[in-house]
Each structure stands twice: as structure tokens, then as C-alpha cells.
Amino acid sequence: MLTGNERKKDILIVRLEGELDHHHAEEIRKSLDELLEDSSIRHLILDLRNLNFMDSSGIGVFIGRYKTISKRGGQVCITNVNPQLARILDVSGLYRILKVYNTVEQAVDGIRGEAV
């Protein structure tokens, strides 16, 4: 489930909540894609603080959105990664394409820092 979306100029910040398995993937994918139809969005920050569970279905969702964002020359960042998520992300090699930050603020600063 997506909660509390926020815009900071060309950055979209989205909070993921609950469980990202195959059952929930479709809904999350759809909601994200609707938000990303706004072509003024260049970067995406996914805050995983309240994401309690994820399996490899989530990997597909992240890679799909990464493709959209990288076409716009932007970055996908994830924040507040708990140990279970960290292991899935590690196995999947997602750390090579997604940037990881402790907090949303640090992610915003990171994107700004590189954008100069």
C-alpha cells in the first residue's frame, strides 16, 4: 500500500506500507505508475520504514520503476531498510541500481548533491 506521497520539486517521495508480496504487487505497481505519469517527476524515493515484508515480487516492482526513472535521467532511492528487506535487496543485486539512505532527508540531500 502507498501512503503519504510528497513532492519536493522533481522528487517524488512515496511511503510503502504493509507487505510487498505477489498479492500486493499489482496494486502497488499500479499506484506508482499512476503517480509517475506526471513527467515532471525525475527522482523517486521509496521510504520502506513501514514495509513489514517483501519477497522477490517486490524486486520486480522496484526494477520496473527504476527503468521508468532512469529513462528520465533520475535516481531511485530507498530509505529505512530493515534487516529482512536488506537481505532480499542484497540477494537480488538491487543495491547496484538503487541508492540506499538511512532517512528520506538524507536521500533528498543525496539527490540534490549529485544534481548540481
Partner 1 sequence: MNLRNEMRLEFLSRSQNEAFARVAVAAFAAQLDPTLEEIADIKTAVSEAVTNAIIHGYDNPNEYVQLITQIYDDCVVIEVIDHGKGIEDIELARQPLYTSKPELERSGMGFTVMETFMDEVEVNSAPGQGTKVRMVKYIRNDTAETERDE
Binding-site ranges for partner 1 (CB under 8 A): 19, 21-23, 25, 29, 53, 55-57, 59-61, 63-64, 83-84, 87-88, 91-92
Query: Minimum distance from CB of 84 to partner 1 (Å)?
Result: 4
- Check: CB of residue 68 under 8 Å from CB of residue 36: yes
- Check: CB of residue 65 under 8 Å from CB of residue 35: no
Residue by residue, DSSP assigns 40-76 as T--EEEEEEEEEEEE-HHHHHHHHHHHHHHHHTT--E
Of the pair 57, 106, the CB lying nearest partner 1 is at 57
Of the pair 25, 46, the CB lying nearest partner 1 is at 25
Query: Minimum distance from CB of 17 to partner 1 (Å)?
Result: 14
Query: Minimum distance from CB of 71 to partner 1 (Å)?
Result: 16
Query: Minimum distance from CB of 54 to partner 1 (Å)?
Result: 8
Grid-cell match 506521497, residue found = 5
